[in-house]
Amino acid sequence: MRTLSMIILLAALLPGCSGKTPNPPEGTPQPPGDTQPPPEEALPSGPPVPTGPPNVPEFQPAFPGQTRAPAIQSKTAFQVTEIASGFKNPWAIAFLPDRRMLVTEKPTGSLYIVTPQGAKSPAVAGLPPVDGRGQGGLLDVEVAPDYAQSGLIYWTYYEPRQGGNGLAVARAKLVEGPQPRVEGLQIIFRMMPTLESTLHAGGRLVFAPDGKLFVTLGERSILAGRVQARDVRSHFGKIVRINPDGSVPQDNPFLKTEGAKPEIWSVGHRNVLSAALDRQQRLWTVEMGPRGGDELNRPEAGKDYGWPTIGYGEEYSGAPIHQSTQGEGMEQPVYYWDPVISPSGMTLYTGELFPEWRDNIFIGALSGQALVRLMMKNDRVVGEERLLTNLGARIREVVQGPEGALYLLTDDANGKLLKLTPR
Ligand SMILES: [Ca+2]
């Protein structure tokens, strides 16, 4: 293992970025509630992370702190260790109960088992072929909550189909050995309709503690798909919620809506590439927006997150998409980025190794080439930091390991599996 030697400087060295701001004036109402950050410490203040001017300056946030939260700087020194490399554009990590990892490779459709020391198995045999063009391929992987009994793993991929392609969710039993394989393959969900597009695949999987499975989807980018993002007759631009066998939970929000796809949980998303649960087991997502419109949301059952009707971005050509940032019956993002970070992968940190980072949101940034840290308070972003900018790497995935370290994948033809631990 190789140490990339990285030290975070003391926050106190940077005025305005330390989070140690004067106490609010007497009589200032204090938000009720939790203990993070401690009540005796004022919220961060000062300038945001320096990112350049907004692409869409005419759009203003709906509430203070919805974008450009004050820049913060971690006080905890950490190091980055390279566990393994040589993955072709890896996409996702999932931990087996014995701390080995499953790692997916997007364009090749290959799945590997990797030991904590970085030894890689041969590619697991028996996975179906993927359409690996563009943003498609083999995407997320998750280990079943009952893996000890069932041996099941779940994954998302872009499925080649007659007349196009589409996201599919598969599950199968992982069979170990010198040549690991899967057996008993079942396709438990197919995003419909079929359309020919290599973009906006979505593809994150999250198991809720009640055993339900969230699957995040994209709207395919092309206009024929984009216009379906708020249409409950289509899976495009949705988050769906299914049982582990693919059947529909009987408390899903659109079950009684005529013509609606019964798997739908929430609508009006563009391309949701990041999803994770918080300590209260609520779902959070980050979606890849247009230019100037990446969004953090907390999708709730039956709600409409507005794409493509409302949002904060514009086309990459500079042409407008939205007349307004707000609309009747549509939810505001918790936070947005303009310019964008190009999010992919997220985790809400709950580990013991980094007490300073507890309940912070970590997001891998592709074009942003950073690990984005968000400090939260009462479900709002109160501080933002860009970590690992000196790696110059597109960060595809971030997950918390069983011991509380953060594990990352870099998106590259020679993609790396990295680990963050306190120094
Ligand atoms: Ca939205």
Domains parsed from the chain with CATH numbers? 41-422 (2.120.10.30)
At 111-124, the pLDDT tens digits run 999 999 999 999 99
- Exposed/middle/buried for residue 231 (C-beta within 10 Å: 0-12, 13-18, 19+): middle
For residues 86-98, average pLDDT:
98
What is the C-alpha to C-alpha distance for residues 272 and 201, in angstroms, rounded to an integer?
8
CA 311 to centroid of ligand 1, rounded, Å: 5
Q: What are phi and psi of 382, to 5 degrees?
A: -115, -5
Question: What is the Cα 129 distance to its own chain's centre?
Answer: 24
Assess whether pLDDT exceeds 80 at residue 144.
yes
Pick 319 or 33 by higher pLDDT.
Answer: 319
Q: How many whole angstroms from 398 Cα to the centroid of ligand 1?
A: 23
Ligand 1 centre distance from Cα of residue 25 (Å): 35
Is residue 64 scored above 90 in pLDDT? yes
Q: What pLDDT, on the 0 to 100 scale, is given for residue 104?
A: 98
For residue 246, how far is its CA from the centre of ligand 1 (angstroms)? 27
Predicted local confidence at residue 12, as pLDDT = 35
Per-residue pLDDT at 402: 97
Any catalytic annotation for residue 322? no
Which SS3 state, helix, strand or coil, does residue 218 take? Answer: strand
Dist. CA 149 → ligand 1 center (Å): 39
What is the predicted pLDDT for the residue at 39? 56
* Residue 335 CA to ligand 1 centre (angstroms): 10
Say whether pLDDT at 359 is over 80: yes
Global pTM reads 0.90
Which of 200, 235, 269, 322 is catalytic? The answer is: 200
Render pLDDT for 315-352 as a digit per residue (tens, 0 to 9).
Answer: 999 999 999 999 999 999 999 999 999 999 999 999 99
The number of beta carbons lying within 10 Å of the beta carbon of residue 223 is: 10
Calculated CA dihedral for residues 175, 181, 184, 188, nearest 10 degrees: 110
> How much is the pLDDT for 201?
86
pLDDT of residue 102: 98
Residue 415 alpha carbon to ligand 1 centre in Å: 31
How far from 70 is each of 43, 49, 78, CA to CA, in Å?
A: 9, 7, 22
Rounded to the nearest integer, the mean pLDDT of the chain is 92
Percent residues over pLDDT 70 in the chain: 90
